[in-house]
Structure 1
Amino acid sequence: MKKMIPILFITLLLSCQNKAQNKELNAKQNAVQMAAPVSVPSENGMERAYFASGCFWCVEAIYESVNGVSEVISGYAGGHTKYPTYESSNTGRTGHAEAVEVIYNPKIVNFSTLIDVYFASQNPTQVNGQGPDIGSQYRSIIFYQNTEQKSLILDKKEALSKKLGKPVAAEVYPFQKFWVAEDYHQDYERLHPNNSYIKNVSIPRLKRFQASMPEILKKNH
């Protein structure tokens, strides 16, 4: 019995520490969600939008197939930590999700259509992940840079929820900062077409999206 007392004490101590850490992380994440949005200025007539929708390998390829999109970059957004990495974000404790930066020409494709692409290219009711990728780092988030974008996102989310008769899982966050992912993640689907994940998950997801919105695709897709 005497030997068990120190073990019980250590167990209780660790439990209290974990609860305190989780409370601190939750407070930091709540602050991110309540922050004022950061607006990214246009550059050479191009604008930028940010989305999280499961594995960024998949999402990058989807948006790159859209006419008017010049480039898509994989990275991390939505969290409370600085300089996230693939390894740290996978712990689920950075608050970040795998995300993409979409650089687009608003004269060809607008933000409203990019939201439509977002919902058409995922399972909008899946919570905390997409397909086989489960965890907060794979959760769905749409980022807004001003009140007009926020209203548009919320309206489309509500309309889709009514159409499906189910809640839409995507979170709506004020954009704060986009952290570019490691070089080996960029253009991953294009550079690694024979990767088993790409063949079995990414490409089928891309093709399902392309079949649903063929009118907005680039001619070579």
Structure 2
Amino acid sequence: MKNSILYIALSLLFFSCANGQSKQDLAFAKLPAVKPGQAVATFGSGCFWASTEAMSELKGVDKAISGYAGGNTNHPTYEEVCSETTHHAEVVQVYYDPSVISYEKLVEAFFNAHNPTELNYQGPDEGESYRSIAFYRTPEEKAILQAMIKKIDASKKYDGKIVTQVVPFTVFYPAENYHQGYFKLHTDRGYIQSVSLPKVLNMRKAMYAWLKPEFQKK
């Protein structure tokens, strides 16, 4: 559960936004078809507004979709996930070209776009839905995730140990349409500036050589 002041503020923001949304905005986004040669990866690193933007800026990434995974409720709504009763995390599903960017590089970007030592929270966002979680689809992906965690822990980059959950992928539910591309559409909002943007900037700095050209100029 978020701390009371932030929860009230964000709740008011959410409801004020929701009240102005069309039925199409509140409808669930449609999953894109996987193109020939494409691969798919799924990560949760706190609020999906930041993680979706971070992943979408990488070379070889065709689409990054905000959604929910890791829980036990079918087709959850944003309100249900925020209630912390579904056990889902806010996640990003990445559709990418492995001939341009590897799964290992996506994992590197994932770990540079949030603090993986924060258990069930990210910065001011508190709750299981904001946990650090990475889903693998093959034994090779699981090994890459475990190796990266071991490497970062050994580097002593953080005071604490990484608490990222490494779990097999089961199902991804796309979030509502108005969450898709939220970072780009609302760059002037306080939450984006104070919480989301620092995560994206950290990823840009760490993964500069892997950014699409338009983001290398920022």
TM-score (structure 1 length as normaliser): 0.79
Match of 1:122 among 107, 110, 114: 114
The residue aligned with 1:211 is 205
Task: Give the aligned residue type for 2:40.
Answer: R
User: Is the aligned partner of 1:167 residue 2:161?
Assistant: yes
Contact 2:109 2:206 in 1 (8 A): no
Contact 1:53 1:129 in 2 (8 A): no
Q: Could you tell me how far 1:42 is from its partner in structure 2?
A: 5.7
List per-residue Cα deviations over 1:10-49 (Å, max 9, x = no partner). xxxxxxxxxxxxxxxxxxxxxxxxxxxxxxx963211110
Q: What is the CA–CA distance in structure 2 between the aligned matches of 1:88 and 1:121, rounded to whole Å?
A: 25
Contact 2:59 2:211 in 1 (8 A): yes
- Structure 2: 5+ residue runs without aligned partners? 1-32
The residue aligned with 1:26 is none
The residue aligned with 1:113 is 105
Note the 1:171-210 alignment, pairs <5 A: 171-210=165-204
Note the 1:1-221 alignment, pairs <5 A: 43-164=35-156, 166-221=160-215
- Structure 1: 5+ residue runs without aligned partners? 1-40
Larger radius of gyration: 1
SS in 2 for 1:100: strand
List per-residue Cα deviations over 1:116-164 (Å, max 9, x = no partner). 0011111121111211111100001000011111111111112211212
Q: Could you tell me how far 1:194 is from its partner in structure 2?
A: 1.4
Task: Give the aligned residue type for 1:58.
Answer: A
Q: Could you tell me how far 1:166 is from its partner in structure 2?
A: 3.2
Moved beyond 3 Å, runs of 4+? none
Q: What is the CA–CA distance in structure 2 between the aligned matches of 1:147 and 1:208, rounded to whole Å?
A: 29
Q: What is the CA–CA distance in structure 2 between the aligned matches of 1:64 and 1:48, rounded to whole Å?
A: 13
- Report % sequence identity: 38
Backbone CA RMSD of aligned residues: 1.4
Contact 2:59 2:101 in 1 (8 A): yes
SS in 1 for 2:150: helix
Contact 2:34 2:95 in 1 (8 A): no
SS in 2 for 1:220: helix
